[in-house]
Amino acid sequence: MKKLKLKKKNLGDFINELTRDYALYAPQEKEGTISFSLVEKPEEITLDYHNSDTSPKEIFFPQKEVILTYQDGNSQPVFYEGKPFALLGVRPCDAKSFQLLHQVFSTKKFEDPYWLTRFKNALIIGLACNDTLPTCFCNWLDGSPHGKEGMDILLTDLGETYLAEAVTEKGESLLKQQKDWEEASEADLKQASKLEETALKSLPPKIESAKLKEKLDGMWDDPLWEEIAQRCLNCGACAYLCPTCHCFDIQDEGNEKNGKRIRLWDCCMYPLFTKEGSGHNPRKNPADRVKQRFMHKFNYIIQNFDKYGCIGCGRCITYCPVNIDVREVLKQILET
Amino acid sequence: MVESTKTYIPIPVKVSRINEESPDRTLRTYDLEFVNKEDRFDYMPGQFCQLSIFGKGESPLGIASSPTETDFLRFTVNRVGVVTTAIHYLEEGDELGVRGPLGNYYPVEKFKGQNVVIVSGGFAFTTLRSLVVYMLDPAHRGDYKDITVIYGARTPDLLIYKDELEKWETRKDINVHLTIDKGIQGWKKHVGFVPSVTKEIAPASKDAWVVVCGPPIMIKYTLPVLTELGFPSERIYTSLERRMKCGIGKCGRCNIGAKYICLDGPVFSLAELEDISEPY
Ligand SMILES: Cc1cc2nc3c(=O)[nH]c(=O)nc-3n(C[C@H](O)[C@H](O)[C@H](O)COP(=O)(O)OP(=O)(O)OC[C@H]3O[C@@H](n4cnc5c(N)ncnc54)[C@H](O)[C@@H]3O)c2cc1C
Ligand code: SF4
Ligand code: SF4
Ligand code: FES
């Protein structure tokens, strides 16, 4: 696979090239929040960032999405029809989350056409983390600050240039078109692996993550859930920011003749999530819901998709109003 | 895989017949016809559909007709909230949408050559009617040995499909035991709750499979009776419910443990459920 170098001063040209063929999304700061937004001009983007506050999953799985429109009893699906998406500057943890969501939305008997339409032809250009955050723990969950899983191309910031490594055929063919990019030298590759080593060292020491699933098998009645639930506000911030959460609600907007059916992110921390028509609620206590969140990420998803349901991005740690720290919870699980 | 672009699109159907099941007007049975004949789908007893009323939403409902009844789809709807109330406002000839068939089904293949016992309470009898009609069909009846139905409700009014039950009671190829919670004048059948009547009737567990569906409390007290009668948990089946949205294992709403009721269920054996910590 090709390993080239993109001079930072030529980044603008590359971005302009991408915007011709793709709907390009890259990190942009707006009112103090960094999110992946549609790029019109190269100046809008910032690659000098730790991670986006919101998860880039929202490009392929929008928070609110029309799935069909109806008129007089007939309905039509509504699919994204724009240019294929390209994401530039995706962090390795988030790129991994796309792989998990893709498994959820495309396997087990049914395909989700809305996810597939958006995700199938997307180009993912990742950006390695040289500088991690105190809340990062991708190394606990099969990830790495320079991980390539889920990317077509990985960029690594080498100072004056980006090292650009093709990961997939799609990435390779894009790099082949970059006639004026230099080949990366041995020294460049060595510098990149040094940077990876430094980044890895800055992460918290690993825990025995492989034991989490089995531990949780035996923790249904553990007091830990009640303990966490005592503090948790059931606000759902953790789920809305989480790159792997995929739960949604379906609602109709309109009258019986005309309108649309939409889907919206939903959250297992809310009591109404499981409340049935009869009034019965199988998860009526906050502790039931806290348990669902951790069981889903660190036990059920592993059973169903053979992957962790968390990528260690740390967003839920940063934004939880009562400082519930998933890393502390994982340690407590291993200690029981 | 199902043709993906249609995954969430309801198929248009028309109400061909409505039957009021209970005098308090909370339970109605709807027979539906496909507006376009080519939309007709095959299904098995135990599967469910999402019934869709545009502007209101969708509700998962068990299919009460049998695949052998090819000219209609039947659902019995208890009026509880927004969508089920909207369904209750429908009249013959009105159109609505249906998405399905969804979920797995009763293991009719495993039942072959065996006795089948059906235990039910209240309006949960819907998909069990499908199963009974399927097994009684001349094309299938020979595949099964004795068929026993134990079915109860609070009052005689609340037993659904009364006309059909009466017909089954006169047949030789099915044993029907009906019960009501408290005796009333003129009732000559069983009196008592489903679990105790099951104990009284004591269907033989040898070479037999049992399907039990009803309110959670009925299930809770019936399971120990079945175990006592010698049914191993591998041969006890039930059907579960959860608040559902997608019905296809994506929206994350209906899991018990690592299983999705809409995808891996709604039909589970007790043995499968015993392996899951989350209460069902
Ligand atoms: C597999 C399966 C098979 C079933 N089979 C049958 C059957 O054969 N017959 C039958 O009658 N029923 C059946 N049910 C139950 C049936 O699906 C529910 O009773 C029905 O969906 C209720 O829908 P509703 O819109 O009428 O109620 P809702 O309007 O949803 O109201 C019910 C309750 O849900 C809450 N609620 C309302 N809106 C929301 C919201 N937006 N978000 C969160 N909570 C809300 C409210 O607290 C309300 O009290 C089955 C269920 C399943 C899962
Ligand atoms: S659970 Fe928290 S750390 Fe894990 S992926 Fe979700 S937001 Fe990131
Ligand atoms: S963000 Fe914190 S308080 Fe809010 S639901 Fe998540 S764990 Fe609970
Ligand atoms: S109803 Fe959506 S996952 Fe089961």
DSSP codes joined into one string, A73-134: TEEEE----SSPEEEEEE-HHHHHHHHHHHHHHH-TT---HHHHHHHTT-EEEEE--SS--T
> What is d(CA B132, CA B141) in angstroms, rounded to the nearest whole number?
10
CB-nearest to A111 from B7, B56, B57 is B7
Q: How far is B135 from chain A (nearest CA, A)?
A: 27
In this model, does residue B3 exceed pLDDT 60?
no
Residue with token string 């639930």: A229
Residue A280 confidence class, pLDDT cut points 50, 70, 90: confident
In this model, does residue B1 exceed pLDDT 80?
no
Q: Residue A206's pLDDT is what?
A: 95
Residues of chain B contacting residue A81, judged by C-beta atoms under 8 Å apart: none
Contact with chain B for residue A220, Cβ under 8 A: yes
CB-nearest to B7 from A113, A261, A273 is A113
> What is d(CA B34, CA B42) in angstroms, rounded to the nearest whole number?
12
Phi and psi dihedrals of A267, rounded to 5?
-150, 130
Amino acid at A297: K
CA-nearest of A59, A61, A157 to A114 is: A61
Q: ipTM, 2 decimals?
A: 0.92
> What is d(CA B75, CA A71) in angstroms, rounded to the nearest whole number?
25
CB contact under 8 A, B55 and A259: yes
Q: Residue A277's pLDDT is what?
A: 79
Residues of chain B contacting residue A217, judged by C-beta atoms under 8 Å apart: 277
> What is d(CA B72, CA B34) in angstroms, rounded to the nearest whole number?
8
| pLDDT, average across residues A24-41 | 95
Nearest ligand by distance to the CA of A273: 1
* Residue % of chain B over a pLDDT of 70: 99
Q: Residue A108's pLDDT is what?
A: 87
Q: Which atom of ligand 2 is nearest to the CA of A238?
A: 7
Taking CA–CA distances from A276, the nearest residue in chain B reads B243
Alpha helices, H only, chain A:
11-21, 57-60, 92-106, 113-119, 169-176, 186-201, 212-217, 224-231, 237-241, 286-295, 301-305, 315-319, 326-335
Q: How far is A70 from chain B (nearest CA, A)?
A: 7
CB-nearest to A247 from B58, B78, B253 is B253
Residue B216 confidence class, pLDDT cut points 50, 70, 90: confident
Q: Helix (H) and strand (E) counts for chain B?
A: 7, 15
Report which DSSP code applies to B37. G
Residue B133, Ramachandran bin (φ over 0: left; ψ between -120 and 50: alpha; else beta): alpha
Domain limits, CATH 2.40.30.10, in chain B: 11-102
Distance, CA of A87 to chain centre: 12
Find the B243 Cα to ligand 1 centroid distance in Å: 6
Please, which residues have CB within 8 angstroms of residue B149's CB and are 6 or more apart in sequence?
B118, B120, B128, B132, B168, B174, B175, B176, B177
Residues of chain A contacting residue B81, judged by C-beta atoms under 8 Å apart: 277
In this model, does residue B2 exceed pLDDT 60?
no
- Mean pLDDT score across all residues of chain A: 96
> What is each CA distance from B274 to A104, A274, B196, in whole angstroms?
25, 21, 23
In this model, does residue B63 exceed pLDDT 80?
yes
Residue B216, H or E segment: helix B216-228
Q: Is the CB of A287 under 6 A from ligand 3?
A: no
> What is d(CA A247, CA B253) in angstroms, rounded to the nearest whole number?
7
The residue contributing the CA closest to ligand 2 atom 8 is A313
CB contact under 8 A, B278 and A268: no
Q: Is the CB of A234 under 6 A from ligand 3?
A: yes
Residues A54, A27 contacting (CB under 8 angstroms): no
Find the B251 Cα to ligand 4 centroid distance in Å: 5
The tens digit of pLDDT for each residue in A163-217 reads 999 999 999 999 999 999 999 999 999 999 999 999 999 999 999 999 999 999 9
> What is d(CA B251, CA B259) in angstroms, rounded to the nearest whole number?
13
Domain limits, CATH 2.10.240, in chain B: 240-280
Report which DSSP code applies to B27. E
- Mean pLDDT score across all residues of chain B: 95
Rg over CA atoms, chain B: 18
Beta bridge partners of B49: B61
Amino acid at B199: K
Find the A288 Cα to ligand 3 centroid distance in Å: 14
Residue A292 confidence class, pLDDT cut points 50, 70, 90: very high
CB contact under 8 A, B7 and A73: no
At the fourth CATH level, the homologous superfamily of domain B11-102 is: Translation factors (2.40.30.10)
Q: Residue A21's pLDDT is what?
A: 95
- For residue A276, the tally of other CB atoms under 10 A from its CB is 14
Contact with chain B for residue A78, Cβ under 8 A: no
> What is d(CA A172, CA A164) in angstroms, rounded to the nearest whole number?
10
CB contact under 8 A, B55 and A256: yes
Q: Is the CB of A151 under 6 A from ligand 3?
A: no
Q: Is the CB of A310 under 6 A from ligand 2?
A: yes
> What is d(CA B45, CA A251) in angstroms, rounded to the nearest whole number?
29
> What is d(CA B250, CA B262) in angstroms, rounded to the nearest whole number?
10
> What is d(CA A42, CA A20) in angstroms, rounded to the nearest whole number?
12
Residue B97 confidence class, pLDDT cut points 50, 70, 90: very high
The tens digit of pLDDT for each residue in B117-157 reads 999 999 999 999 999 999 999 999 999 999 999 999 999 99
Q: Residue A20's pLDDT is what?
A: 95
Contact with chain B for residue A293, Cβ under 8 A: no
Best residue in A60, A104, A261 for a mutation probing chain B (most B CBs within 10 Å) = A261
* 3-state secondary structure at position B5: helix
What CATH fold (topology level) applies to the domain B108-238?
Rossmann fold (3.40.50)
Residue A4, H or E segment: strand A3-7
> What is d(CA B14, CA B238) in angstroms, rounded to the nearest whole number?
30
> What is d(CA B17, CA B65) in angstroms, rounded to the nearest whole number?
13
CB contact under 8 A, B249 and A110: yes
Taking CA–CA distances from A104, the nearest residue in chain B reads B250
Q: Is the CB of A311 under 6 A from ligand 2?
A: yes
Q: Which atom of ligand 4 is nearest to the CA of B260?
A: 4
> What is d(CA B271, CA A135) in angstroms, rounded to the nearest whole number?
42
What CATH fold (topology level) applies to the domain B240-280?
Dihydroorotate dehydrogenase B (pyrk subunit); domain 3 (2.10.240)
Residue B111 confidence class, pLDDT cut points 50, 70, 90: very high
Taking CA–CA distances from A72, the nearest residue in chain B reads B54
The tens digit of pLDDT for each residue in A101-154 reads 999 999 989 999 999 999 999 999 999 999 999 999 999 999 999 999 999 999
Residues of chain A contacting residue B7, judged by C-beta atoms under 8 Å apart: 110-113
CB contact under 8 A, B4 and A268: no
Domain limits, CATH 3.40.50.80, in chain B: 108-238
Cis peptide before B195 (omega within 30 of 0): no
Find the A275 Cα to ligand 1 centroid distance in Å: 8
| pLDDT, average across residues B202-209 | 94
CB contact under 8 A, B250 and A275: no
Q: How far is A307 from chain B (nearest CA, A)?
A: 13
Taking CA–CA distances from B103, the nearest residue in chain A reads A109
Distance, CA of A53 to chain centre: 11
Phi and psi dihedrals of A138, rounded to 5?
-60, -30
